[in-house]
Amino acid sequence: MQMSSLSPDMQRCIDECLHCYRTCTEMAMNHCLESGGRHVEPEHFRLMMNCAAICRTSAEFMMSASPLHAATCAACAAVCDACADSCEQVGNMDECVQACRACAEMCHQMSQGGTSLGRMPDAGVQAGGLPIS
């Protein structure tokens, strides 16, 4: 799904977010539930589901050209980093670790203004992506 109004970097970030969303959801619902033990401990399992949710949300913010996408990307990067660490500690979750690390890297870049929307409006938004009241 290539959209001409999005920068190539933004499109890559969307793709990484959607890949991480899919990977975390599938691994949580299949690998973790079937493996049991540490894989389904509440803190780890909730983190995986939260990671999937913020990845989907960040992709949606970027796809909708929201001027607040940098804020969702910052949150996404933090959650992906935490999820990757948790999956590493649990073990046997390399696919999830790789997806989370790749998404976190792209979202870190997006949250720091390294890339932007081709059509993102500047009016009404202050530094940090928060609306001016």
Q: What is the pLDDT of residue 5?
A: 78
Q: What is the domain extent for residue 90?
A: 8-111
Q: In terms of pLDDT, which residue wins out, 34 or 114?
A: 34
The total number of structural domains in the chain stands at: 1
3-state SS, residue 122: coil
Give 97-123 pLDDT, tens digit per residue.
999 999 999 999 999 975 444 433 333
Q: Tell me the backbone φ, ψ of residue 92, rounded to 5 degrees.
A: 60, 35
Does residue 132 form part of some domain?
no
Give 48-105 pLDDT, tens digit per residue.
999 999 999 999 999 999 999 999 999 999 999 999 999 999 999 999 999 999 999 9
Q: Any idea what the CATH number is for the domain that residue 37 is in?
A: 1.20.1270.360
Closest CA to 95 of 111, 104, 84, 82: 84
Does residue 124 form part of some domain?
no
Number of H helices and number of E strands within the chain? 5, 0
Single-letter amino acid code for the residue at 46: R
CA distances from 13 to 9, 82, 99, 126, 129 (A): 6, 18, 12, 23, 17
Does residue 59 form part of some domain?
yes
Does residue 133 form part of some domain?
no
